[in-house]
Structure 1
Amino acid sequence: MAFGVISEIGYVSLQSKDIEGTIAHGRDILGLTETHRSGNAVYLSSRARRHHELVYLDAPENGVGHIGLVAAGKAGLDLARTRIVDAGYPILSNTPLHPGVADGFAFIGPEGFVFEIYIGLEPVGITPTGHAPDRFGHVNLHPQHLHAMLTFFTDVLDFRVSDVIGDDFAYFLRCNAEHHGVALIKGKGWMHHHAWQVQSIADLGKLGDRLHDAGSRLLMGPVRHGAGHNMAAYYVEPTGAVVELYTDMEWILDDDRPPIVWPQDDRAWATKWSIYDFSEFRSHGLFPAREHIAAN
């Protein structure tokens, strides 16, 4: 259950300079099903059967288009709109950016990330693939100015801190009972990964098999994270963004649970089963698009 103006993380939109190759990845590797195609935009969903959880936009260069946040009803949408305007974030659109949405608005947030806050996303009658994830889960951002991004999510959008890593290094934030909908790790100013829930660790192994058959490989995993408790595996998609499949995420049923604090040098917050060199893992990501391209 949501405790603030945002109820869940809704979708991510990515601009792609190889739209057909990127769509093939979404279908064959990630397991999503195309729900709609219009002009430069292709919409995909998981077993959740929503109009869109991932949107690919045909574009001259790769980049993060925007991140969709589901408001906690009409009251949450109206309050979020008021807070965003009062905080001085530029409004990009006063109406939804995509079809299948009842109401919403978009704005430019910290470090150039565009966010859409909306309600009323339509369901779709698709038949999911055999290896479809259950649903879209979260995003991992690596802002340059960590505390500004943290303040945006906690003070403006009511997210709560689940775990803290080190002294000014990383924060895991939740907008409902799931351990995190947004993770913030100090970095280059890009989105590191978008993440999808699957049913079991067996699905992580099958992901590795699909990547191998396609001539690719896992970037990291399977691992068991300490922060969030989830088991996860990661790979790099054609846009340059990292994709995570995860299962067994911690749910926090006490809204007032204090954050768990981890020393930064305690690698168990990231992986409890083995030690990784995270330099390659953190070298991948996707910056916000330099130019906003609207779906048409």
Structure 2
Amino acid sequence: MSWGAIARMGYVCLHSQDLTAAGDHAKSILGLTETLRTGNGIFLSSAARLHHELVYLDAPSNAVGHFGLVAADLNGLDSIRLRVREAGLRVVAETPLLPGVADGFSFEGPEGFVYEIYVDMLSQSYVPLPHRPERYGHINLHPKNPTAYAEFLVKILDFKISDVIGDGFGYFLRCNSEHHGIALITGRGTLHHHAWQVQSLVQLGELGDRLWEAGSRLLMGPVRHGESGRNIAAYYVEPTGAVVELYADMRHIYDDNAPVNHMSSATIDWATQWSKYDATEFRSHGVLPTTEIITSR
């Protein structure tokens, strides 16, 4: 279910200074399957069997390359092209940055984050790993100005606001019925985490076991989030410095005209209902957007 130009979240492209470590970690811990390896990139997907949902490109430093969003159709793609031009946003490329999609373009949004809007990604035939997630779900950004960022997502990309935390401290926005595809929490201008849907709490426990066996630990969780999705989630840090979330039982909003939910920033109930957590440590992780666009070769 979607109501506007964007149908769903597409993929995350990260720059990695250790491509092998990033790819191996995504396969062994997150459970993604490698679908393509190029001269400077690794493409991975979940049980969704897409050409890519997560991409790592070889780079001098860890950074966010860009985010992919799936247009509802060609009309949706064209409407966003027009809005981007009318808003005076910088177009990065008029054709797809990565292989595997039929048509698309990319542009620079607020605070340096680049978005590729595209249609018709190729599917892939493979047997997913037993501990794979079901699909890529959402991202959590920590922009310096979340209010301006939320306005961009609404006006340019047709997202709707599900929740507001405090007086502009945070926003959760959706492009379809899932409670949020992009979350915004006031910060230093980073991608905090990319998130992947699993079927149950059991898989979050198995994630903890895999991390322990690899000599690492969960960063936070499992927790039950409050009104910010009601999902059960667990988090860990990947080699790029970005945080990864696995989650289950996300709330869906089927009323296109549902009122915006307002939550207090004075408590952490919106973030966790099961336990306390060190917000300073949790929020210290993340990666900045790249200053140089890299394409696959």
Q: Which band: TM-score by shorter chain? A: over 0.9
- The residue type equivalent to 1:12 in the other structure is V
Structure 2 regions of 5+ residues with no counterpart?
none
Report how far residue 39 of structure 1 moved. Answer: 1.5
Report how far residue 19 of structure 1 moved. Answer: 0.4
Tell me the equivalent position of 1:255.
256
- Whether contact under 8 Å (2:142, 2:191) holds in the other structure is yes
CA distance in 1, matches of 2:157, 2:23: 32
CA distance in 2, matches of 1:264, 1:103: 41
TM-score w.r.t. structure 2 length?
A: 0.99
CA distance in 1, matches of 2:190, 2:267: 24
- Whether contact under 8 Å (2:165, 2:265) holds in the other structure is yes
Report how far residue 168 of structure 1 moved. Answer: 1.1
Structure 1 segment 196-275 matched on structure 2, within 5 A: 196-226=196-226, 227-275=228-276
- Whether contact under 8 Å (2:19, 2:41) holds in the other structure is no
Tell me the equivalent position of 2:66.
66
Structure 1 regions of 5+ residues with no counterpart?
none
CA distance in 2, matches of 1:195, 1:146: 19
CA distance in 2, matches of 1:275, 1:217: 17
What is the SS of the residue equivalent to 1:268?
Answer: coil
- The residue type equivalent to 2:235 in the other structure is Y
Tell me the equivalent position of 2:279.
278
CA distance in 2, matches of 1:100, 1:142: 29
CA distance in 2, matches of 1:290, 1:85: 21
Deviates more, 1:115-124 or 1:269-278: 269-278
CA distance in 2, matches of 1:260, 1:110: 24
Structure 1 segment 1-296 matched on structure 2, within 5 A: 1-226=1-226, 227-296=228-297
- The residue type equivalent to 2:287 in the other structure is L
CA distance in 1, matches of 2:194, 2:240: 12
CA distance in 2, matches of 1:217, 1:289: 28
CA distance in 1, matches of 2:126, 2:260: 39
What is the SS of the residue equivalent to 2:269?
Answer: helix
Report how far residue 290 of structure 1 moved. Answer: 2.1
Identical aligned residues as a percent: 59
Report how far residue 197 of structure 1 moved. Answer: 0.2
Deviates more, 1:175-184 or 1:37-46: 37-46
RMSD in angstroms over aligned alpha carbons?
0.7
CA distance in 1, matches of 2:244, 2:31: 12
Report how far residue 266 of structure 1 moved. Answer: 2.5
Q: How many residues align?
A: 296
